[in-house]
Chains A and B, each alone.
Chain A
Amino acid sequence: MFLLEVNGLTKRFGGLTAVDSLSFNVSAGETVGIIGPNGAGKTTVFNLITGFHRPTSGEVVFEGANLVGRKPHEIALAGVGRTFQVVKPLRGLSVFENILVGAFARTGDRVEARRIAQDIIEFTDLVAQREALADGLPIGLRKRLELARSLATGPKLILLDEVMSGLNPTESTEAVELIRRLRDERGISAVAGVEHVMQVVMSISDRVIVLNHGRKIAEGTPEEVAVDREVITAYLGE
């Protein structure tokens, strides 16, 4: 059985079909890359899965239960974490407090929540920024905090919206390393949405799904997708 099954997922905004009967699966412990040019519908897919948008049709099944119609917080508590493309730190809170708020999803106990937050802050290597306000962090660290806060809720699957955008090469390498450790050390599945940076996607993904104009145009191993004619056309034109 798959951890996540997306079947015929469709979202129309007025006359625009942002996501067009999309189907894919994610297994436990798998990292899947969703790539596609700007406007391909990646963020909409994430918003549909996490309940921020309601699909026009189709279903999202997580651990055997349909998530469609459930509220974002219910989906988060069911074990689907997410980050936002435009990072949304809790600005007035410190890095540690940001993560602590996430940890309270697992326990009401302060001591236990602090222990979880400390574990996550070490795992994501944000210890040096522990007491800094989230508002003052540079973009690379904000992205990492975004991941850390979601991780603290104890997800089984985490959806990473544009993990690489705005990062310099060093920061990208660190982000890739962190996503790899997510799978290898914690067994957490991830779906990473990425616009460009093909070799980055290739290095972290077990499988890649390519979206264009809301439709899936290719799916396969990174090597297969990289030589797919339709994918090359979508990115480079005829």
Chain B
Amino acid sequence: MKRPAFSFSILALFLIASPFIFQARYSQHVLILVLLYVTLGSAWNILGGFAGQLSLGHAAFFGFGAYTAAIIASKTALSPWFAIIAGPAVVLPIALLVGWICFRLRGPYFTLATIAVGEVVRLLALNWSQLTGGAVGVVIRPSVFSGTNKLPYYYIVLVITAATVALCYVVSQRKLGYYLRAIREDEETAESIGIDTTRYKLVALSISASLTAIAGAFYANYFLFVDPTIVLPLALSVEIVLMAIIGGLGTVAGPVLGAVLLKLSSEVFRNEFAQANLLIYGALLVLVILFMPDGLMGGFHRLFRFGARKTQRVSA
């Protein structure tokens, strides 16, 4: 099959060239944001989409990554960029602990527990002032690049995003991906065919949380400021989940499409409609959920492969 390879090359070229196509600093900023959210949506999707464990606490992992960068910058002589490695290392044991506790619960109870985890981490950051700066937050002095040139940030986040999406694709094709989907569909069935459901859920959570922490570490290095209302709000967890759901749960391309659509539209709406932007944004969400209950990916499938699906369904 040559066509996918061809489209892929075109896409890659476009992504590499885009900061030169969109030279305005604001446009480049939006590109960086979109890629960051593609990473967040894709990372969440490994746990929430593939394994069906709807976490509403992913801001905690994002915040850990961001605060790791902030603390490295304020307490050590190292570059905060080390947080891209240190962030996941800090988050991994925490994710395992969270999983050990929360995976005893299923469905909505699991989701509620993850909200609690997110809030606990937010309150911790707010009150442990010696380490986190409390409500004042931490200002990070840029260590490698000057803040005015967006190009290095764009290419760094592009690499992170590409690696994340590629990892999602690889996972979806392998035993791990199939096992996670089996767990999503029916945990008892999964156990009955030899799947250690607890272990595989922990694996999914570890990968998902680590990638989210990397995104958080990048965020801190890019925005150079971290405080609990920016990197740890429940609203961030919700936004990540929305992107994956709007795009299409459990598909590799879904969170990518969802993040591009939601982030681009929210930026456009904010410029065009000022105060009314959230109203338009909300209306868009409602429309997608009403008319594409499987997300954009499901919608595309039905549009383009309706005939194929139909013949499959009646073949019994």
Contacts and interface: CB of A to CB of B under 8 A. Distances in A.
Interface of A: 50, 52, 71-74, 76-77, 81-82, 84, 88-94, 97, 100-102, 104-105, 108, 110, 113, 128-129, 131-133, 136-138, 141, 149-150, 152-153
Interface in B268-316: 312-316
A71 to B, nearest CB: 7
A132 B312 CA distance: 5
B178 A101 contact: yes
A75 to B, nearest CB: 9
> Across chains A and B, which 5 residue pairs bring their CB atoms closest together, nearest first?
A105-B194, A90-B185, A72-B191, A76-B194, A77-B194
Contacts of A93: 181-182, 185
A137 B312 CA distance: 10
A132 B313 contact: yes
Nearest to A102: B193
B267 interface: no
Interface of B: 173-175, 178-179, 181-182, 184-186, 188-197, 250, 312-316
Given A92-B181, A110-B174, A128 B315 contact: yes
Contact of B188 (A52, A102, A105, A152): A52
Given A136-B316, A137-B316, A50 B179 contact: no
A104 B179 contact: yes
Nearest to B249: A92
Contacts of A82: 192
A137 B190 CA distance: 19
A101 B191 contact: no
A237 B129 CA distance: 77
Contacts of A76: 191-194
B196 A131 contact: no
Contacts of A131: 312, 315
B249 to A, nearest CB: 10
Given A52-B188, A94-B312, A102-B193, 12 more contacts: A50-B192, A72-B192, A76-B194, A90-B189, A91-B186, A97-B181, A100-B178, A105-B193, A108-B175, A131-B315, A132-B313, A133-B312
Contacts of B174: 110
Contacts of A73: 190-197
Contacts of B197: 73
27 contacts: A50-B192, A71-B196, A73-B191, A73-B193, A73-B195, A73-B197, A74-B196, A76-B191, A76-B194, A82-B192, A90-B186, A91-B186, A92-B181, A92-B250, A93-B185, A97-B178, A101-B182, A104-B178, A108-B175, A110-B174, A128-B315, A131-B315, A132-B316, A136-B313, A136-B314, A138-B316, A141-B316
A105 B304 CA distance: 35
Contacts of B315: 128-129, 131-132
A138 B315 CA distance: 10
Contacts of B182: 90, 93, 101
Nearest to B189: A88
A201 B191 CA distance: 28
Given A90-B182, A93-B182, A110 B175 contact: yes
Q: Which of A52, A90, A93, A141 has the most CB of B within 10 A?
A: A90
A121 to B, nearest CB: 13
A91 B185 contact: yes
A78 to B, nearest CB: 9
A94 B181 CA distance: 12
B279 to A, nearest CB: 34
Contact of B175 (A50, A113, A129): A113
A82 B194 CA distance: 11
Contact of A92 (B173, B185, B194, B195): B185
Contacts of B250: 92
B316 A101 contact: no
B189 A84 contact: yes
A110 B175 CA distance: 7
A101 B190 CA distance: 9
Q: Which of A72, A128, A133 has the most CB of B within 10 A?
A: A72
A113 B178 CA distance: 11
A153 B193 contact: yes
A138 B313 CA distance: 10
A226 B313 CA distance: 42
